[in-house]
């Protein structure tokens, strides 16, 4: 195994974006690929490490940049300022995801018939919105993602298989939103799953999350179980 990683520049209109990617150079030929969508903080080391872990599993890991080259938040206030424009304009969010999908298909190691997307928190919503546009990808995994519908994709057929991994005690995604998501995915004809982890809040995959007053707490068991669930899901959709 020889994990190779680097960055690649791509564009959404005039916005310069920089993705991080990783793959196993010991493997030959094109292979399944996973887009990785970052939290509200931006394309940081957390998603870079996920790209490397996916590369070790035999995939190309492509950590998407939603905000622009070098743009990262350093505190919750900055993170919110970066994320909010995309929450307010989901069409812009979807267009940026489409730019990432187009960019990854140009890479020589990518089997563009076998692409999936995963995401964490805000990134979970980004992955789900890509599926909501009707993108022809194999599947999407949302880790403690925001589930609220965008309001501009009603009537679209969701082609991607959907796996949402969620904490039962996540204050950012109340029960009503989970039920609405289930209904939305059913009406869109999606092959969907929603796994709910008990005694688990938001950000359960992030070892640095330790803010119970904000509902953000790392949960090692949910972290481990959700990553295993993702691996099983990817093996199924790429078979």
Give the closest residue to 106 by CA, choosing from 33, 15, 158. Answer: 33
CATH number, domain 3-237: 3.40.50.1820
Query: Could you list the pLDDT tens digit for every one of the 239 residues in the chain?
Result: 799 999 999 999 999 999 999 999 999 999 999 999 999 999 999 999 999 999 999 999 999 999 999 999 999 999 999 999 999 999 999 999 999 999 999 999 999 999 999 999 999 999 999 999 999 999 999 999 999 999 999 999 999 999 999 999 999 999 999 999 999 999 999 999 999 999 999 999 999 999 999 999 999 999 999 999 999 999 999 99
Which residue ranges make up each domain of the chain? 3-237
132 phi, psi to nearest 5 deg: -65, -25
Adjacency order of strands within the sheet including 161-167:
3-12, 15-24, 60-63, 31-37, 110-120, 139-143, 161-167, 192-197
From the CB of residue 199, how many other CB atoms can be counted at a distance below 10 Å?
12
Rounded CA gap, 170 and 56, in Å?
30
Rounded CA gap, 189 and 95, in Å?
23
222: enclosing H helix or E strand: helix 220-237
Rounded CA gap, 217 and 215, in Å?
6
DSSP label of 207: T
This prediction's pTM = 0.97
């Amino acid at each position: 195994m020889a994990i190779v990683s680097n960055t690649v520049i791509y564009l959404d209109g005039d916005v310069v974006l920089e993705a991080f990617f990783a793959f196993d150079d010991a493997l030959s030929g094109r292979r399944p690929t996973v887009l990785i969508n970052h939290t509200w903080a931006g394309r940081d080391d957390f998603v870079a490490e996920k790209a490397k872990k996916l590369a070790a599993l035999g995939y190309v890991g492509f950590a998407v940049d939603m905000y622009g080259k070098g743009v990262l938040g350093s505190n919750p206030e900055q993170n919110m300022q970066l994320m909010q424009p995309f929450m307010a304009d989901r069409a812009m969010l979807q267009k940026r995801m489409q730019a990432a999908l187009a960019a990854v298909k140009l890479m020589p190691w990518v089997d563009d018939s076998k692409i999936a997307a995963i995401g964490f928190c805000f990134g979970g919503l980004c992955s789900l919105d890509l599926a909501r546009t009707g993108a022809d990808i194999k599947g999407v995994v949302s880790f403690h993602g925001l589930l609220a519908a965008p309001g501009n994709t009603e009537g679209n057929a969701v082609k991607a298989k959907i796996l949402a991994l969620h904490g039962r005690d996540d204050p950012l995604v109340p029960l009503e939103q989970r039920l609405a998501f289930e209904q939305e995915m059913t009406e869109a004809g999606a092959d969907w799953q929603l796994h709910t982890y008990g005694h688990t809040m938001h950000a359960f995959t992030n070892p640095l999350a330790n803010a119970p007053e904000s509902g953000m707490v790392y949960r090692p068991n949910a972290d481990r179980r959700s990553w295993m669930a993702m691996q099983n899901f990817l093996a199924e959709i790429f078979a």
